[in-house]
Amino acid sequence: MPRNPRYDILFQPVQIGPKTAPNRFFQVPHASGMTNAAPRVRAAFRGMKAEGGWGVVCTGACSVHPSSDDSPFPNATLWDDADIKAHALMCDAVHDHGALAGVELWHGGAAAMNRTTRYAPLSPSGVPWMATHVGFMTSARPKVMDAGDIRDLIRWHADAARRAEQAGFDILYVYSGMGYLPYQFLLSDYNRRTDAYGGNVQNRCRLTLELIDAVREATQGRCAVALRVSMQELRARPSDVAESEAHEVMGHLKDAPDLFDVKMDYSAFDCSPSRFSAEGSHEATVAFMKTVTGKPVVGVGRFTSPDTMVSMIKRGVLDLIGGARPSIADPFLPAKINEGREAEIRECIGCNLCISSWHDGVWVRCTQNPTAGEEWRRGWHPEKVAKDAKGSALVIGGGPAGLEAALVLARRGMQVSVAEAGRDFGGRLLWESSLPGLRQWFRVIDYRLGQLQAMANVRLFPESPMTAQDALDFGADHIVVATGADWDRALCGPNEIPEGRVDGPGVYTPTDLERGAMPQGPVIVHDFDNYYMGSALSEMLADRGLPVTHVTTAGTAAAWGFMTNEQPQVHQSFVRRGIVLRTSERVVSFAGGTARLAHMLSGV
């Protein structure tokens, strides 16, 4: 199909210093869990995006020196010449499809724990990052950088830039964002220096400017230099000479790099789940950039709608459409728009399972794209499936798992029948997507059902409950059972495993609520799943006017939601809704309208 002319602007080339991006689709640096230890995995993962039409494809954070060691969280390195070959594989994979390759040169400063290398963390003024999550906590305190340390940092960036060019990278980032070392110099909270690198805003910008110059000079201007900078905190701070400190900082930096990549300060807002943030949510913070610089600007916002992308460009908010999560969910998003197949885009649902992978220290995974992270090891392709299966298959259950199984089997060449007991396909998501903030999750069903409905070798049977004998009598060569599960009524024991049961009047599980039950009067939501369900139910019940007390066995609400960037906004949501939160407690019993609680550690 021909491309819709209203999307032509997305496919215009963009000049970035000495390089030309073939279109406006820019896969910004994002974590993938793929370090130098897995170079072929990384090359295949990034190369797939170039194949799918992304004009620029970047790595995630790439450490410039052992004093920036993020272990146990995965990060790549350009510490010495031995690292060059591993990165060259990715650059080659990206260049094979006509895209530019970018690398994010990174030093974490006080935010890097250096657990493996045991270097003292570096910082402008010795101010530590007091992380509240155990994965980031440390007893180490950072060293105040002296003039020699600053010279070393600049040299490390220059050395890494030369190695990056040898590997084949076209765009080299200086990373002054997200609380990392160059940004620590920009922000007065970290920077309390009284020398030429501290004090007023101009002095605080000095290091970033010197790093940009050093990276450019290291490659003699052959590579483009990008600056990644966070604006959330700076926009909120007043300035005596400009609208905000962000405007003042940009007054000093506006001509320095070849490209600005703008983002938020905190991961929970930079990579906010769809549960709390709509597409394009960064605009209010970053829209001013194009009013102060003539250099191209790229930004993100979980962009999946081509109309939103066009709007961002035509209204002068961005020059390039940044994608991290959408590029994982559908590496072929640009190609589908280019070919008039935008209805086939596998849209990111904003569940943030991808970012949880980095927190887990593993290769990226995706709810929408099961091939993510398996392009090399298993040879999986998001758009091409081998026609290697024959015969017929009956899939029992039309929820997320059943529809995904049916889609893969149909693409492999089988005759597929899907039997769903209910009137509508969607399974658990028919109800879960009605909970506060979770509507975007139904994209999982919309995409799969839309694909299946267009396939001649697929038959869909709603309102078709099946017994075991019915399934056998159907006569399919293969049977897939994907009928889901119900929530249990177990309580949580002091050893943090299910123990005992609670039943009787006034006791409900999420399954009961899904089937129409609704509590009356004050409600306790006992959450020891610690992901999204408990907090979403508390929000839903509060929205219906019920007094809600949320009891969790963990130290915070939605404790696993830290992994998906939900946790901070869950707590804020509870405050807005008046939900009472009790942490580190479990329900021991419930009878006669009275719940007995015990502390998880003390038992009292």
Distance (Å, whole) CA 597 – CA 551? 9
Q: With pLDDT > 90 as the criterion, what percentage of the chain qualifies?
A: 94
- Work out the burial of residue 44: count CB atoms within 10 Å of its CB; fewer than 13 is exposed, 13-18 middle, 19 or more buried: buried
DSSP secondary structure letter of residue 601: T
Q: Nearest to residue 564, comparing CAs of 290, 350, 301?
A: 350
Of the residues 180, 190, 447, 532, which is catalytic?
A: 180
- pLDDT tens figures, 522-559: 999 999 999 999 999 999 999 999 999 999 999 999 99
C-alpha dist (Å) from residue 64 to 105, 107, 186, 385, 395: 6, 6, 19, 39, 50
Residue 412 in tokens: 């492999």
Q: What mean pLDDT is predicted for residues 263-291?
A: 94
Q: What is the mean predicted confidence (pLDDT) over 213-240?
A: 97
- Cα 476 vs. chain centroid, distance in angstroms? 40
**Spatial distance between the Cα atoms of 518 and 402, rounded to a whole number of angstroms:** 28
Cα 526 to Cα 144, 522, 544, 589, 603: the distances in Å are 46, 13, 18, 11, 16
**Alpha carbon distance 66, 68 (integer Å):** 5
Is-catalytic flag, 190?
Answer: no
pLDDT tens track for 407-435 = 999 999 999 999 999 999 999 999 999 99
Distances (CA, A) of 434 to 439, 477, 536: 6, 36, 10
**20 three-class SS:** strand
Quote the mean pLDDT of the chain: 96
pLDDT at 1: 83
Q: What percent of the chain has pLDDT over 70?
A: 100
CA distances from 507 to 513, 523, 549 (A): 11, 10, 14
Radius of gyration of the chain (CA): 26
Residue 354 pLDDT exceeds 90: yes
Q: What are phi and psi of 460, to 5 degrees?
A: -110, 130
Express each pLDDT in 473-525 by its tens digit: 999 999 999 999 999 999 999 999 998 888 889 999 999 999 999 999 899 99
State yes or no: pLDDT of 134 exceeds 90.
no
Q: For 19, phi and psi rounded to 5 degrees?
A: -115, 160
Query: What is the distance of C-alpha 481 from the center of its chain?
Result: 31
Residue 593 has pLDDT above 90, yes or no: no
List CB contacts of 488: < 8 A, sequence separation 6 or more: 498, 509
Residue partners of 579: CB distance under 8 A and separation at least 6: 538, 539, 542, 548, 549, 550, 573
Angle at which helices 84-95 and 39-51 pack, to 10 degrees? 20
6-52 residue pLDDT tens: 999 999 999 999 999 999 999 999 999 999 999 999 999 999 999 99
User: What's the CA gap between 350 and 274, in Å, rounded?
Assistant: 5
User: ∠ CA(137), CA(140), CA(146), 5° rounding?
Assistant: 130
Measured from the Cβ of residue 299, the count of other Cβ atoms closer than 10 Å reads 27
Confidence bin at 333 (pLDDT 50/70/90): very high
**Which are the contacts of 206, defined by CB distance < 8 A and separation ≥ 6?**
185, 196, 197
Please compute, for residue 301, the number of CA atoms within 13 A of its CA located in the half-sphere on the CB side.
24
Contact indicator for 340, 2 with CB cutoff of 8 Å: yes
In this predicted model, what pLDDT tens digit does every residue of 88-104 receive, in sequence order?
Answer: 999 999 999 999 999 99
pLDDT beyond 90 at 249: yes
Q: Are 551 and 585 in contact (CB under 8 A)?
A: yes
Exposure pattern of 179-211 as b/e (b: 16+ CB <10 Å)? Answer: bbbbbbbbbbebbebeeebbeebebbbbbbbbb
Beta bridge partner(s), residue 11: none
Q: Give the DSSP letter of residue 249.
A: H
380, amino acid identity? W
Angstrom distance (rounded) from CA 100 to CA 95? 6
The answer, yes or no, to whether residue 355 has pLDDT greater than 90, is: yes
Report helix, strand or coil for 458.
strand
pLDDT at 332: 98
Secondary element (H or E) of residue 480: strand 478-481
Outline where DSSP puts E strands in 19-93: 19-21, 25-27, 56-63, 76-77
pLDDT beyond 90 at 131? no
pLDDT in tens, 358-389: 999 999 999 999 999 999 999 999 999 999 99
Check the CA dihedral 326-331-335-340 and report its sign.
negative
- Determine the number of helices (DSSP H) and then strands (DSSP E) in the chain: 22, 24
What does the alpha-carbon distance between residue 35 and residue 42 come to, in Å, rounded to a whole number? 7
